[in-house]
Chains A and B, each alone.
Chain A
Amino acid sequence: MGRSVGRSRLTSTGQLAIAAFIVALTLIAPRLGSFGRDVDAPIAAPLWGWLAVVGSEAESYDSLSSMTMTADAVVIGHIADLRSGRRFGSETDGWVYYPQATLRIERILAGSLPTAHTQEVVLEFATVQPPDIDALHRRLVGMGGMYFLRNKGVSAAMAGQPVERQESESGFYRVVCSKGWLLPEGNTVVMPLAWEHSPLEYELSGRTLAEVAAAVQAIAK
């Protein structure tokens, strides 16, 4: 009898412990969304702090298919060179700096490029403080990956810029959005410029660059 009561008390204690644990989880869980799990932790640290600008994007895509179908071209390539580029803004309003990379194209997976741009394109990145070009050069040159490209002439037209501006911008490219550059890392791909988690990140999670390339080609067909 005594043993039975003891078991009962133990069971009650265990029940209470389980209940307390669940209650604790319930209390903590809502906060994990913003504090415990860092929802804005960089998805790929190596370049994020150098080139990503946390801001409201004119173009943003949440699926591989939408990003593929909208890009002017999706290419596999590597950065062959990097140099100081243009800057826009003013002394009063501040500047945005555009380091310019020569992106050597190895394969066009989707879309198309003008004949003059099928071998290499001028790909512009952006920084909100003067860039350390030597440091960026050391980090970026030789880096291969998949690039979802937007011709800046096309972008200027989308932005409502006059024809002259569209023409002057047409020799430059950017990635379509912060998720538009994929780098291989281990057995998966990462988005080095992305600063916010998105459905696209989960869609690509665990897929190799070759697998994503095949998916892009299938989407483009």
Chain B
Amino acid sequence: MKLISQILALVFVAGLSTPPALATNYGSHDCISIPDSPYSSCISIGNNYNHQWHYTNPRSDIYNSFETIVESEYDDRTQLVVNETYFENADVNVFDSDYGDFNVWGWVWCPNTSWTSGSHPNKACRPQYLRFNLFYASAFNTAFERRYMACHEFGHTLGLRHTDNTSSCMKADVATSDALRTHDIDIINDVYWPY
């Protein structure tokens, strides 16, 4: 009985000392160990707290939602410095177009011409390419949906993964929130602002 009490006490203390961030939904995708993967669109993390973006030939309503979200959710609510820049300087280059029907309305990938460092699950990439697929026109109908998509895909450029939590824009498949939850913000701050 005494042993069980000791163990429970230690487990409780240990639980308190476990960092909440990094425990879930963060990290690059493992493409390195996949044999013959010339085309894979693996998600990477950013290279530092200064996360600059450029949007090429945007559709105005998507651009407006994107700009709103990266400022309100990422620049204002995290320790990141997020701003718009030139194509050549960008950490994230954003595009939208009708990319046809392959069941994907948005994706982020690291072209094989980009700079990379580290290894999975901490593989960084610069620049990353973020694309919105306008084939799925109905998915971009409302400002809420556009903000959700911007929040979701921009999160991927920082290494945020999917979550089942409906209060986070990182929930996959269904737009239940156009905002980061505190857990996502803690992850970003722990990773990119360890000062």
Contacts and interface: CB of A to CB of B under 8 A. Distances in A.
Q: Do A and B come from one complex?
A: yes
Interface string A19-40: 1001100110011011100111
Contacts of A65: none
Interface in A127-149: 127-129, 131-132
A60 B173 contact: yes
B127 to A, nearest CB: 12
Contacts of A53: 41, 102, 104, 107, 109
Nearest to A14: B3
Contacts of B100: 86-89, 96, 98, 126
Contact of B102 (A30, A92, A132, A174): A174
Contact of B105 (A31, A58, A176): A58
A161 B99 contact: no
Contact of B39 (A59, A131, A159): A131
Nearest to A15: B3
Contacts of A56: 104-107, 149, 152-153, 172-173
A215 interface: no
Nearest to B106: A56
B107 A128 contact: yes
Nearest to B137: A160
A39 to B, nearest CB: 8
A18 B4 CA distance: 10
Interface residues of A, number: 67
Contact of A35 (B57, B101, B106, B121): B121
B40 interface: yes
A34 B26 contact: yes
Q: Is the interface of B mostly helix, strand, loop or mixed?
A: loop
A55 B96 contact: no
* Most chain A CB within a 10 A radius of its CB, from B14, B95, B161: B14
A155 interface: yes
* Most chain A CB within a 10 A radius of its CB, from B29, B33, B40, B105: B40
Given A49-B37, A160-B138, A40 B30 contact: yes
Contacts of A150: 103
A105 to B, nearest CB: 21
Contacts of B135: 88, 156, 159, 161
Contact of A196 (B23, B102, B105, B162): B162
Nearest to A172: B101
A160 to B, nearest CB: 3
Interface string B134-176: 0111110100000001001100000001100000000011000
Contact of B34 (A19, A42, A89): A42
A129 B102 contact: no
A40 B43 CA distance: 10
B114 to A, nearest CB: 12
Nearest to B131: A94
B107 A127 contact: no
Contacts of A96: 99-100, 102, 133
B88 interface: no
A58 B139 CA distance: 8
Given A152-B101, A159-B139, 12 more contacts: A26-B15, A49-B35, A54-B107, A56-B104, A57-B104, A60-B173, A88-B100, A90-B97, A96-B99, A96-B100, A129-B112, A159-B138
